[in-house]
Chains A and B, each alone.
Chain A
Amino acid sequence: MKKNKSVLLSAPYILWMLAFTLIPLGVVGYYALTDPETHVFSLGNLKELGMYLPVLGQSAMYSLVSALICLLLGYPVAYYIAHRGPVAQKILYMLVMLPMCMSFLLRTLAWVGLLQDTGIINNILEAIGIGRLQLIRTPGAVILGMVYNYLPYMILPLYATLVKLDHRLIEAAEDLGCTPAKTFVKVILPLSVPGIFSGITMVFVPAVSTFYISQKLGGTDTVLIGDLIERLFKQGDNPNLGAALSLVLMLLVFICTGIMNGFGADEEGGVIV
């Protein structure tokens, strides 16, 4: 009797999630397939999408590159943290978490102050005689902004995988004559694959849809799909085209995460505090 009753506890939740995640996506679909003026069915919005494909490609590439840079930077750091004592681990873990809790808008704005032509870095470069460089409004600046903002999202899942790694396996590999490099390639790396993929997903998804980082750190050429969607909703007065672009973005993200999940972890989310 009890079992039946407690199953019912999930019903309000399922209804809630249907009402506020699935149905809204249906509404997005409805907007995407109707004409902005007449509200009748139309494929006009989808036809217009072709024009924005380069932007979509550019967004995907920027965020993929950022995710890989995060992986290259984050892996050694996660590895280092995972091999400290318990107290040091806690402190380092907290220091990685802390920036995530602070306003990313202001932190990105601080990068503008650092990178701009009259900014802090350029003032220093000028003072030591190197001269000013074009740092901001380059693709590099956008990628830097993404790496900066989402690096913790890479480190945390990697750390969670690496800290669970069974030390006896490494010892066994070494006993059997593996060099450290070989141990890494043969044992550690394959075992951390789930962490790698969950990290890449967690960096890729927010990066591909960002609109603030590219607005502040990018130039006139670094327009990302998030910028377009934001403009269409907030300024361009064309929510229907914006809805169509949102659908495309969602599709891209689901395909990418689907691939990642296929290769990577079977566990859910990979988020652990």
Chain B
Amino acid sequence: MKKANRILTVLMFIFLYIPMVVLIVASFNTSQDITKFEGFTLRQYAELFRDEDLLRLLGNSVLIALLSTAISVAFGTAAAVGIHRLKPKMRKVVMNLTNIPMTNPDIVTGVSLSLLFVFVGTRLLGQRESLTFWTLLIAHVTFGLPYVILNVMPKLQQMDGSLTDAAMDLGCTPVKAFFKVILHEILPGIVSGGIMTFTMSLDDFVISYFVTGSGFVTLPVEIYTYTKKPIQNKVYAMFTLLFLLIFVLMVAMNLLQLRANRKRETMRSVSKGGAIFRRCAAGFAAACVLAGCCFLAFGNKQDKIILNVKNWGMNMADGSDGTLDIVKAFEEKYPNIKVNMSYYESNETLYSQLKNGGISVDVIIPSDYMIDRMRQEGMLEKLNFDNIPNFQYVDEQFKNPDYDPNNEYSVPYTWGTVGILYNTKYVDPADVTGWELLWNEDYAGKILMIDNSRDAFGIAQYLLGYSVNTEDREELQACADKLAEQKPLVQQYVMDQIYSIMENEEAWIAPYYAGDCMLMMEENEDLAFFLPQEQGFNLFTDAMCIPTCCKEKDAAEKFINFLTDPEISGANMDYICYASPISAARDYMEDYLAESEIVYPSEEILANGTAYKYLTKETTRYVEGLYQSATKTADAEGPNWIPYAIGGAVLLGLAVTLPVIRRRKKTQ
């Protein structure tokens, strides 16, 4: 029995630590791929310390954790003393209130706070940006407070009440009595509550994810978007360093505690290792004060204009692989502007982020049909073309497009096609005939599907021979049925996650945007691109716009103008592999791209492409609903009855055994 326990414990620890070992090994790996160890390198660590953005994110996380802990500890301790003095009935009510954020799932807490902030900030107060640093801090304090209270309350209850009375009899004021007597007794509770708040705040993802705006982002939230894009190994390096740091801290804390315990045993003193706790607490308080000062000193002293840009993932040259770092070049040209780049996955994601409100963004790059929608719904700001002289270089055919007839709201950024990316190693060329490849049962489980309603419906519409701009409910229903039929064959519904999955050959077939496909083909030469010309395909334009929630319109127009410069545009296309709406840019592009049939298809191929148009609001909502139910709901029947059966058996078991145990407990 004991032996079995020991073996199980060892196995459990192996289980808990295997993924961490994988990540630590990955941080020393020369290969980008986590599954293949190709060689040992420390390059990731060097890159990590050069990466200002990553370090800034880490700084943000630490700052929020320190501040929220300091506030929760001070506020929570005072509150606990007050609650302790409440009448028992009232105390019970308050403790139940305290338990709400503890029991509530994080996602509900996050959603409720974000709705509150947006509701009050945007709808009632009419602010442009209601999700800021301060709301994030409020959220962290809100989930930190209960930890402090729940750790301090038991200590207060254990405390001998006559101690306070004695102190006051000896002439202490209540405040003095608190600092001299009570604080001393409850310090261990405060310290453990503070530590819990700190670690919870530092590692919180779910609540922050819902409450974060565009200005102040913490590390876990950014890691979430990283894990959707091809992840960089320097993140693993950061993980390894954090792991070491926390490990050392924990060991140190335990050693201190052990020493304190031993001292207590030998000296039989009443003080519960108070000195050490006091020292820890003082150190921590100092750190909090320091963080607060730093924040006040540097946080608000940003004399630079912050330009918030929201872009597709992998959609702007960032200086890797010898390309031009566009943002850096822009910041060098305009030293008083700092670009803060964040990402969205699809037009629909961008739309709902802006529509739900709470964030302030200065430049966005949506696609044609979405621009039309935002324009009609009054979500876009008219551009001042005097500030965008480079607009003259844009080709005539891209001026005054259908989605922006008078060309008041947008400046085109790229254009391209949607086709099929497939792996020639596994896919029979005879099968590559058209969109039906995505429904081919021979490749079940190896097919990826694009994860947004418009592109997914578009593909079904091309396959079924409907117009992509149809509003006919029957046709749309048929498309939804077609997508539901495809679901069992689909490995995953993806957007930017597609990169690693296709490059690692985890999946073989996927519909995606031509430029991104080119990027993946550069990484894995077995990949090929196919454009179903006969059935038709989507021809899209992405254009830069300024949403009404913008704060820095001038800087935003400067940025748009900068990106419309033919030389910059050409250099940008070298990285993102799309076609530029500026003919002159083609001269600055690398030849293999400028001459590529995938990037610049011939006129006769392009004749088969169609653009999406904005449909009515009702149809858009109807399509979104159909898409969700066709692809995102669990089947009630099928293999899923197994968990139901297990769960039912478990419930039955509980129902039978629990009353027995309970009765036994009572009789004891």
A interface list, Cβ under 8 A from B: 2-3, 5-14, 16-18, 20-25, 27-28, 30-31, 37, 51-52, 54-55, 57-58, 60-62, 64-65, 68, 73-74, 76-77, 79-81, 86-87, 90-92, 94-111, 113-114, 116-120, 123, 134, 137, 139, 148, 151-152, 180, 190, 193, 201, 205-206, 208-209, 211-212, 216, 219-223, 226-231, 233-239, 242-243, 246, 249-250, 253-254, 257, 263, 268-269, 271-273
Residue pair B633, A9 in contact (C-beta under 8 Å): no
Please determine whether A118 and B35 come into contact, CB atoms closer than 8 angstroms.
yes
Q: How far is the CB of A116 from chain B (nearest CB, A)?
A: 5
B103 near A24 (CB under 8 angstroms)?
Answer: no
The reply to whether A151 and B12 form a contact with Cβ atoms under 8 Å apart is: yes
- B239 A271 Cβ-Cβ under 8 A: no
Instruction: Give 18 new A-B contacts, CB below 8 A, not counting A107-B20, A139-B642, A246-B112.
Output: A2-B174, A7-B85, A10-B83, A13-B78, A14-B79, A22-B97, A58-B634, A90-B258, A103-B242, A108-B19, A109-B23, A110-B19, A116-B35, A137-B445, A190-B668, A220-B487, A253-B104, A272-B192
Does chain A have a CB within 8 A of B298? no
Contacts of A74 in B (CB 8 A): 12
Question: When chains A and B are docked, how far (Å) is the Cα of A127 from the Cα of B647?
Answer: 37
Query: How far, in angstroms, from A17 to B631 measured CA to CA in the complex?
Result: 39
Cβ of B592 under 8 Å from chain A: no
Asked if B467 is at the interface of the complex by the 8 Å CB criterion, the answer is no
Given contacts A9-B79, A12-B79, A14-B97, contact A98 B250 (CB under 8 A): yes
A209 to B628, alpha carbons, bound, how many Å? 19
Inter-subunit contact B665/A190 (CB<8 Å): yes
Partner among B83, B346, B352 whose Cβ is within 8 Å of the Cβ of A233: B352
A90 to chain B, nearest CB (A): 5
Contact flag A148-B15 (CB < 8 Å), given A58-B640, A105-B220: yes
Check A221/B115 contact, CB under 8 A, given A113-B34, A235-B348, A268-B150.
Answer: no
Contact A107 to B23, CB < 8 A, known contacts A24-B112, A220-B492 = yes
Instruction: Say if the beta carbon of B106 comes within 8 Å of chain A.
Output: yes
Q: Are B195 and A97 in contact, with the CB atoms below 8 A?
A: no
Contact A118 B108 (CB under 8 A): no
Contacts A/B (CB < 8 Å), 21 sampled: A6-B82, A7-B82, A10-B81, A13-B75, A16-B75, A16-B145, A17-B98, A18-B97, A27-B116, A62-B643, A77-B5, A86-B258, A99-B17, A99-B20, A105-B227, A111-B19, A209-B108, A221-B639, A226-B105, A233-B210, A263-B662
Bound: A99/B547 CA distance, A: 42
Top 3 closest A-B pairs, CB basis?
Answer: A10-B82, A9-B82, A13-B79
Which among A57, A106, A206, A231 is the interface contact of B106 at CB below 8 angstroms?
A: A206
Determine whether the beta carbon of B5 is less than 8 Å from that of A27: no
Given contacts A31-B115, A271-B150, whether A54 and B636 have CB atoms under 8 Å apart is yes
Residue B111 at the A interface, CB < 8 A? yes
A205 touches B75 (CB 8 A): no
B254, CB-defined interface residue at 8 Å: yes
User: What's the least CB distance linking A93 to chain B, in Å?
Assistant: 8
Given A51-B629, A55-B634, the answer on whether A193 and B107 have CB atoms closer than 8 Å is no
Given A233-B210, A250-B108, A273-B195, A57:B644 Cβ within 8 A: yes
Q: Is the CB of B664 within 8 A of A190?
A: yes
Q: Which residue of B lies closest to A142 (CB)?
A: B643
Q: List, in ascending order, chain A residues with CB within 8 A of B195's CB.
A: 273
A222 CB contacts on chain B under 8 angstroms: 634
Instruction: Assess whether A102 is in contact with B85, with CB atoms less than 8 Å apart.
Output: no
Does B168 interact with chain A (Cβ within 8 Å)? yes
Least CB distance, A10 to chain B, in whole angstroms: 3
- Which of chain A's residues have a CB closer than 8 A to the CB of B628? 228, 231, 236
* Inter-chain contacts of A105 with B (CB < 8 A): 205, 220, 223-224, 227
Closest to A87 in B: B258
**Given known A-B contacts A105-B227, A242-B111, A95 and B13 have beta carbons under 8 A apart:** yes
Q: Does B100 contact A (CB under 8 A)?
A: yes
Complex Cα distance A92/B103, Å? 27
Contact A233 B491 (CB under 8 A): no
Do the beta carbons of A148 and B16 come within 8 Å of each other? Answer: yes
CA of A101 to CA of B491, assembled, Å = 32
Q: How far is the CB of B445 from chain A (nearest CB, A)?
A: 8
CB distance from B152 to the nearest CB of A (A): 12
CA separation between A139 and B257, bound complex, in Å?
Answer: 43
The CA of A91 and the CA of B13, in the complex, are separated in Å by 12
- Known A20-B113, A137-B491; contact A271-B147, beta-carbon cutoff 8 A: yes
A110 touches B79 (CB 8 A): no
Distance to closest chain A CB from B652 (angstroms) = 12
Contact, CB under 8 Å: A6 / B81: yes
Nearest-neighbor residue (CB-CB) of A97 within chain B: B250
The answer for the CA separation of A5 and B624 in the assembled complex, in Å, is 57
Which chain A residues border B219 with CB–CB below 8 Å? 103
**Cα of A239 to Cα of B261 in the assembled complex, Å:** 52
Min Cβ gap A258→B in Å is 9
Q: How far is the CB of A205 from chain B (nearest CB, A)?
A: 6
Q: How far is the CB of B438 from chain A (nearest CB, A)?
A: 14
Q: Would B251 and A61 count as touching, CB distance under 8 A? A: no
Q: Which residue of A lies closest to B250 (CB)?
A: A94
A20 close to B116 (CB less than 8 A)? yes
Using an 8 Å CB-CB cutoff, how does the interface string of B74-102 with A read, 1 for contact, 0 for none? 01101101110110000000110111111
* With A235-B349, A236-B352 as contacts: A229 and B23 at CB distance below 8 Å: no
Q: Which residues of B contact A118 (CB under 8 A)?
A: 35, 504-506
Interface string of B6-45 (1 = CB under 8 A from A): 1011001101111110110010000000110000000000
CA–CA, A92 and B397, complex, Å: 69
In the bound assembly, the distance between CA atoms of A247 and B100 in angstroms comes to 13
Q: Are B111 and A28 in contact (CB under 8 A)?
A: yes
Question: Is B642 in contact with A98, judged by CB distance below 8 angstroms?
Answer: no
B351 pairs with A103, CB closer than 8 A: no
Do B85 and A190 touch across chains, with their CB atoms under 8 A apart? no
Known contacts A54-B633, A61-B646, A77-B12: A239-B356 contact under CB 8 Å: yes
Q: Considering residues B2, B22, B346, which has the most beta carbons from chain A within 10 angstroms of its beta carbon?
A: B22
Interface: B493 (CB within 8 A):
yes
Contact B239 A106 (CB under 8 A): yes
Q: Mark B206-217, 1 if CB is under 8 A from A, else 0.
A: 000010000000
Instruction: State how many angstroms separate the Cβ of B387 from the closest Cβ of chain A.
Output: 31
Q: Do A65 and B353 have beta carbons less than 8 Å apart?
A: no
- Bound: A14/B9 CA distance, A: 43
A80-B6, A139-B643, A243-B115 as given contacts; A16 in contact with B492, CB under 8 Å = no
A18 to B79 Cα, complex, angstroms: 14
- Closest chain A CB from B104 CB (angstroms): 6
Residue in chain B with minimal CB distance to A269: B150
Q: Are A10 and B5 in contact (CB under 8 A)?
A: no
User: In whole angstroms, what is the CA distance A148 to B12 when docked?
Assistant: 9
Contact among B5, B103, B621, B642 with A79 in the assembled complex (CB-CB below 8 Å): B5
Distance (Å) between the CB of A77 and the closest chain B CB? 5
Which residue of B86, B119, B202, B493 contacts A220 across the interface (Cβ within 8 Å)?
A: B493
Residues of A within 8 A of B236 (CB): 106
Q: Is B342 an interface residue (CB 8 A)?
A: no
User: Is there contact, CB below 8 Å, between A13 and B352?
Assistant: no
Q: Does B567 contact A (CB under 8 A)?
A: no
Chain B residues whose C-beta falls within 8 Å of the C-beta of A79 in the assembled complex: 5
Residues of A with C-beta under 8 A to B492? 137, 219-220
With A2-B168, A249-B107, A273-B195 as given contacts, are A99 and B16 in contact (CB-CB < 8 Å)? yes
Check B8 against A73 for contact (C-beta < 8 Å).
yes
B6, B26, B348: which contacts A237 (Cβ < 8 A)?
A: B348
Q: What chain A residues lie within 8 Å of B235 (beta carbons)?
A: 106
CA A92 – CA B250 in complex, angstroms?
12
Chain B minimum-CB-distance residue to A211: B107
| B185 CB → nearest A CB, Å | 15
